[in-house]
Structure 1
Amino acid sequence: MFLLNNTNNKNYKKSYPTESDVIFDITEKQLGNIKNAAWNELREGSIVCVVTSTRKVSTFCKVTAIKGLGDKDADGGETFILCGVVIAKLMPESNMGLLLSKFSVKHQYLTNSKFSIGSHVAEMGSDLDALQVKTRHGLKSISELKEIIS
């Protein structure tokens, strides 16, 4: 499971009007930062949660596509997007810092349970597997969702 940093509240529908179900983007320059190496672990079927400026963990998506846009951004690099569909909600949503503390998450790029500067993609491994989320089939743990999706 991955946490993705959109604390600047980028509007993906507005930014990519011709693409469907965009849930996150990242630039080649951002991928050059070692803090985002976990991007290389993302696959179709990965479970992600995009954290916005509220710093709340609320909506979990299954990645349906990872695309390079073949563009050249202001830095001369390519932009990559993640597309996905909602598969679960945390009810009630939870403050990221409190949630990570509750599950004793230790991550080198989530300093004090917050994204460190330059960090956009954090792989959680099994740290949040016990978290219970609401799906259309009732409450499931992240671990159960991983099994269903794989």
Structure 2
Amino acid sequence: MPSFDLHIVFDCADPDRVARFWMAALGGYDFPMGVPDGFATWDEWADANNIPVDQRNAGRTLVDKDRGTRPDIFFLQVPESKQVKNRVHLDIKVAPGLAADDRRTAIESEANRLTALGATVATRMDAPDGFHIIMQDPEGNEFCLA
């Protein structure tokens, strides 16, 4: 059986905004390259290459610059907004090895940090397998903190 690379793709209205949220949320991710030599900004580069303003936010890519082992994440602009619950979501493990109150404290602390970045808390869950929080990114995509 061949092995395959895994990429995560988000459909969104504002790829730059959602990519910057996830870059801050996950840590260690960044855009694959900086502004090309000879240009002060990406907009300056886009102007020089005649890229229309309405096409400059068609997509963004994040790569794992910290460890180099996590999947690339793509953010693609789509015309429709999110309508229903995600069928696939990310679980961010922020409290591995912690138990009970320490685990809850670590999860709540991370939820506060992500809320300051633009996420919202959807639900706090006290489940048989432990406490976790269901959150939404700035465009409503669900993810879990566990």
Query: Normalising by structure 1, what TM-score?
Result: 0.25
Higher strand share: 1
Query: Normalising by structure 2, what TM-score?
Result: 0.25
Higher helix share: 2
Q: Who wins on radius of gyration, i.e. which is larger? A: 2
